[in-house]
Amino acid sequence: MSARVGVDLGGTKIAFAAVDEQHRVLTRSRAPTPQGPEAVVDAIVEGVRELDAAPVAVGVGAPGPVSGGVLMTAPNLVGFDRPAPLAEPLGRALGVPVAVENDVTAGIIGEWSAGAARGSSFVLGVFLGTGIGGGLVLDGRPYRGAFGGAGEFGHMCVRQGGALCGCSRRGCIEAYAGRASMEHAIDVAVSKGRTTVLTAIAAEKGKVRLTSGVWARALEQGDPLARAVFGEGIAALAAGIGAAVNLLDLDRVVVGGGVAEKMGQPLVDRIAEEVQPYLLLPDVPRSFVVAELGDDAVVVGAAALADVPSLTLGLHPT
């Protein structure tokens, strides 16, 4: 038995999983995310040890660009405003090789190793959440880019001069398809007197935010405002996926994240249909599929990092 431990370092919690060689999760745990690199390293070391899995390797998915085992910046983590080495101190403390990768890249590696991207060599993963994440497998290898910052699909501009994005730029895909942006669009419309069932459904479900479940229910009920805003999101996603496919000639697009899990393959089929008119090479066997691993994608992908030769830069052999 040679388990690996995959770690998903998030803004509020750290998820740990011991994963076997067939990418199956054996055990899992969680811990709150502390503030600052040192405390985070300590929390990861403690969490890995407490799993008691005697791992042969540890992989970490971290929320920002990663280069050579260093988390360059992480807007969602407190105290990570400058480059923070993670692989090196973790490897030293744990006594096994530690690889660190961007969390969305780890997620697509998870789907590629054991989920919806299995068997493909040219994959875009799109993860729909508060923002829009992206990950790439190109030419049969996870793709990280020159400075570990690849995969910012959500910040491809599809409407120059368009809606303001959370990143302060205009016309990004995320400015239309991110859950935060869609919620903002609803707020603006409601403040102008438009009505929607979204807020009532949220209240009924006891939610402060418009969660994926709230959106799914409102769309099922045919709420016109929800449909319009969601439709703009799909349109922006389709233009962006079309642009990525034209640039990269991908053969698979995996769509994941909360709303994709809620709405499943029918949502992905709708996106695929709207992508089609953008494609310069439409008559080739490309598939558009919903992600399979859900929240486990990052831990499974992080655990698989030790097996990915092109990521050995992130390895710290002790």
Q: How many angstroms separate the CA atoms of 260 and 134, rounded?
A: 14
Q: How far is the CB of 270 from its own copies (least distance, A)?
A: 17
Least separation, in Å, of the C-beta of 100 and its own copies?
16
In the complex, least distance from residue 214 CB atom to its own copies, rounded to whole angstroms: 26
Whose Cβ is closer to its own copies: residue 59's or residue 148's?
148
Of 289, 171, 303, 288, the C-alpha closest to 239 is 171
**Encoded tokens for 297:** 């994608």
In the complex, the smallest distance separating the C-beta of residue 52 from its own copies, rounded to whole angstroms, is 37
Between 85 and 149, name the residue whose CB sits nearer to its own copies: 149
Least distance (Å) between residue 173 CB and its own copies: 9
Nearer to its own copies, 58 or 241 (CB): 241
Shortest distance in whole angstroms from residue 108 CB to its own copies: 13
Nearest to 301 by CA among 23, 15, 98, 48: 23
Q: Which is nearer to its own copies, 94 or 237 (CB)?
A: 237
Q: Compare residues 59 and 154 and give the one whose CB is closer to its own copies.
A: 154
* Cβ proximity to its own copies, 134 vs 257, nearer residue: 134
Q: Are 165 and 172 in contact (CB under 8 A)?
A: yes
Element (H, E) at 144: none
> How many Cα neighbours within 13 Å face the side chain of 208?
0
- 249 phi-psi bin (left φ>0, alpha ψ -120 to 50, beta other): left
DSSP 318: -
CA 247 from centre of chain: 21
Q: What are the distances in angstroms from CA 167 to CA 37, 123, 163, 234? A: 24, 25, 11, 20
Question: Shortest Cβ distance from residue 93 to its own copies (Å)?
Answer: 29
Are 129 and 260 a contacting pair, CB within 8 Å?
no
In 3D space, the residue among 13, 12, 10 whose CA is nearest the CA of residue 106 turns out to be 10
CA dist 209 and 284 (Å) reads 40
Q: Least separation, in Å, of the C-beta of 143 and its own copies?
A: 7
Nearer to its own copies, 200 or 278 (CB): 278
Residues of this chain that interact with its own copies (CB under 8 A) are 65, 72, 121-122, 134, 136, 138-139, 141, 143-153, 155-160, 162, 167, 169, 171, 235-236, 239-240, 242-244, 246-251, 277-278, 280-281, 284, 286, 310
Tell me whether residue 79 or residue 145 sits nearer to its own copies (CB atom): 145
Q: What are the distances in angstroms from CA 41 to CA 14, 36, 37, 110?
A: 11, 9, 6, 23
Sign of the CA dihedral 281, 286, 290, 295? negative
